[in-house]
Amino acid sequence: MRDNEQNLKRLKELELLLGKLRDFVYRHDKNGVFYYLSPSIEEITGYTPEDWKNHYTKYLTNNPINEKVQEYTDKALKTGQPQPPYRVEILHKNGNPVLFEVSEMPYYEDGEVGGIVGIARDITERVKNDKIQNAIYEISQATNRSGNLNKLFEEIHSIIKSLMSAENLYIALVDKETSIISFPYFVDEFDPPPSPRKFGKGLTEFVYSKGEAVVVNKPVEKKLEREGKIELIGADSMSWIGVPLKEKDEVIGVLAVQSYSDGNAYGEEERQILTFVSEQVAQAISKVKKEEQVQKYLKELENTKASLTEKAEQLKNLNADKNRFISILSHDLKNPISTLLGYAQFISEEFDYLSKEELIESVSAVFRTASNIHELLDRILDWVKAQHESMEVIYKDIELYRVVENNLELYESTAHKKGIKLINGIDKSTIIQADVRILNTILRNLIGNSIKYTEDRGFIKVTSHLSDNTFKIVIEDTGVGIEPGIINNLFNGTSSGTRIGTRNEKGTGLGLIICKELIQKLGGAINVESELGKGSKFYVSLKPPSAN
């Protein structure tokens, strides 16, 4: 008798203990009929043990994990062995889902499996906390992965959607100096991304000023409107929640989600979740913004470096041009001017003593020297024009035959003296688009150059043709040709010295450099084919007429 009393007492103590646990214990037979449910089940699920005995299957949610509940139980009954823990989700009487981790083992009666003894532990909070921690970790990882804010915002949105209903989400950032709110990320069913705006009285500004998370449903919204604390902006939502984004206690913006269909979409749980992740979001935004600023700064430095390198190269070229220019002035211009002064002085002092033949010879020498100086000055002026970056290029339709003919006529006298035949091989119907001033300078330099290096009784021919979608003007001569070692540096002015013409004509080294620079202004190029003793062909490549 005393043993029975003690057993009953122990049983009541055990039930009292089980009733205080956040777990509940149960026992059912092979047919699933419950014989025992610990009292804590009502506190955990909202349903009484009696409710469970009669209707427990109706409390299962639509969570896919519930599909295998019966499979786990059947396996324990069939094998007579304890099964690994599994999860099941029950809909609490208050409408919220409750997640349990269930451990079951069979019990025996008369040597056979009689049913199941199990313990179910409420892991809802644990799983929720794990999801939040995992979300915070994922945001941290996204920060490291993302190279820009747009990609980071997309990943943050995806992570938050795994925690709650968040189809409509936006991130607003506030510039304290200008009081401008911008929306670098805005995904919404109805509203387009808003333009930056002045700080006003929207819900975003309300959360920013309050510095705390705010859950707004229709009643709260109406109350805030009546109190003049907010003014509605955009489509009218049923439920809205916004949390401040803080960096070191300073609010930098707001993260908000909203639902247009469910007035109960957000509550205290969602507020806590967003509050938990908002700090990590703010840190992530700040970090990526700083990284973007650093990358922008590095890019600017790289651009500055490239610009300085380019400027240094330009200065190097300008210095080389300056030296070349000084050399021309000091040598090629000074010498003929000295010669001219010498002839002029000689004629002035000896005029009365000179025969007619001597006088004619001296005046002819003055004329030749003055002509050389004139040609040199023309080259220098052409070179100065070519160096001028703001030199305007005016494209017009040009009859190429007529332009070539005019330039050949300029050299008719010079060519005649050397017995050189000038041939215009351009089709009279050829029309190109170019700057006639620039083209004249190019042709004048190349034709004059060919005359200088062509032997007596040779010829110079100008032709044109279309090749590989490029229009080419060809100046061909039967001159002395060019040494292979000189060709490579012919257009950059670095070849050693200037060549003497077939009648000891002096060169400045500027002609071909001028041609190259002017042709480049027309968007073209120049090259040469030459063989010693067999003449040269200079190719001026321009865009075809239809391309200009």
Enumerate domains of the chain plus CATH numbers.
Answer: 14-122 (3.30.450.20), 128-282 (3.30.450.40), 392-547 (3.30.565.10)
Cα–Cα distance for residue pair 471/540, rounded to 1 Å: 8
State the pLDDT at residue 7.
46
State the pLDDT at residue 154.
87
Tokens of 143: 């920060």
DSSP 108: E
Strand partners, 434: 396
State the pLDDT at residue 172.
92
Residue 501 · residue 452 · CB < 8 Å? yes
State the pLDDT at residue 245.
92
Cα–Cα distance for residue pair 31/74, rounded to 1 Å: 10
DSSP 235: S
Amino acid at position 509, single letter: G
DSSP 242: E
State the pLDDT at residue 264.
85
State the pLDDT at residue 259.
92
Residue 151 · residue 63 · CB < 8 Å? no
State the pLDDT at residue 146.
65
* Count of Cβ atoms closer than 10 Å to residue 157 Cβ: 19
Residue 544 · residue 470 · CB < 8 Å? yes
450 CB contacts (<8 Å, ≥6 apart)? 460, 475, 477, 479, 536, 538
* Count of Cβ atoms closer than 10 Å to residue 175 Cβ: 13
Nearest to 84 by CA among 94, 71, 99: 71
State the pLDDT at residue 541.
93
State the pLDDT at residue 548.
47
Beta-sheet strands, E only, within 7-159:
23-29, 34-37, 86-91, 97-109, 112-122
Terminal Cα-to-Cα distance of the chain (whole angstroms): 117
Cα–Cα distance for residue pair 171/184, rounded to 1 Å: 7
> What is the chain's pLDDT, residue by residue, as a tens digit (548 residues)?
455 555 455 545 555 544 455 688 888 988 888 888 888 888 889 998 888 887 777 888 888 888 888 888 889 899 998 888 999 999 999 888 899 999 999 999 888 999 999 999 998 888 888 887 887 788 777 777 766 778 888 888 888 888 888 899 999 999 888 999 999 899 999 989 999 999 999 999 999 999 999 999 999 999 998 988 988 887 788 999 999 998 888 899 999 999 998 888 888 888 888 888 888 788 877 777 777 777 788 888 888 888 888 888 878 877 776 666 665 555 556 656 777 788 788 888 888 888 888 888 888 878 877 876 776 677 677 666 666 655 678 899 999 999 999 888 888 878 888 899 999 999 999 999 998 888 988 898 899 889 888 988 899 999 999 888 889 999 999 988 888 878 877 776 555 445 655 555 555 556 788 788 888 888 899 999 998 888 999 999 998 876 44
Residue with tokens 């909070």: 125
Cα–Cα distance for residue pair 26/102, rounded to 1 Å: 11
The pTM score is 0.46
